Amino acid sequence: MIRSENLRSGYIQDDVDEYLYTLLPERDAVVSEMEAYAAENRVPIIGPAVARMLALFVQISGAKRIFEMGSAIGYSTIWLARAAGPKVKVFYTDGDQENARRAQNYFHRAGVAKRIEVKVGDALALLKKAPGTFDLIFNDVDKHQYPDALRVALPKLRRGALLITDNTLWSGKAARPAAEDDDDTKGVQEFNRLVYASKELYPVLIPLRDGVTVCRKN
């Protein structure tokens, strides 16, 4: 098993982490290759445990119009597209053209390219400009952007839609006072405060891997 940052929690015991990942079924060749590439090149991905949970929420909610904020090499995008089925529209966004090129190759090989619209640029700006509302928005942008990402995402969610955000425990740092110059931890902490204070959202923070917050828009 690849023991990288993508398969490790900063606050769960190592043996519990190991147990969680030994339970998971093997992934197909394309997804396994993406996991290996991410581990070797220190590319952050959500990993298979969080990906399965993300896929489950897509299936339960019946989401068909999905926007992903911060997609990197498209690992989570493939899980979203596969879970939602052939009639889905998933928007991939990333600021790195090389990431997008690699992601598109994976999408074709995984058989989901027709379900995904690739957008290169700032995820927040792209979401603002996107027409209509969404059934599910997955937020995984730079952590200092989290409060702004929430403000942009809220009006783009239809009633009953889900906002799912990764890294909301931030290796456990979210639970401790942030250093003065630690904008990423401060961003995660402010995001967590805002969603739990919001009357528009019903949030639950799930302590899986690096923490995942799932919010339903009221």
How many folded domains does the chain comprise? 1
Are 46 and 206 contacting, i.e. CB atoms less than 8 angstroms apart? no
Note the pLDDT tens digit of each residue in 199-215: 999 999 999 999 999 99
Q: How far apart are the first and last CA of the chain?
A: 40
Note the pLDDT tens digit of each residue in 66-88: 999 999 999 999 999 999 999 89
> pTM score, two decimals?
0.94
Structure tokens at 108: 């074709």
CA-wise closest residue to 140 among 59, 43, 58, 218: 43
Note the pLDDT tens digit of each residue in 12-70: 778 888 888 889 999 999 999 999 999 999 999 999 999 999 999 999 999 999 999 99
Range of the domain at 187: 5-217
Distance of CA 174 to the CA centre of its chain: 18
| Pairing between β-strand 212-217 and β-strand 89-94 as defined by DSSP bridges | unpaired
Note the pLDDT tens digit of each residue in 96-144: 999 999 999 999 999 999 999 999 999 999 999 999 999 999 999 999 9
Residue 10: give its domain's CATH number: 3.40.50.150
Neighbours of 39 (CB within 10 A): 17
Beta bridge partners of 138: 68, 164
Note the pLDDT tens digit of each residue in 174-193: 999 999 999 999 999 999 99
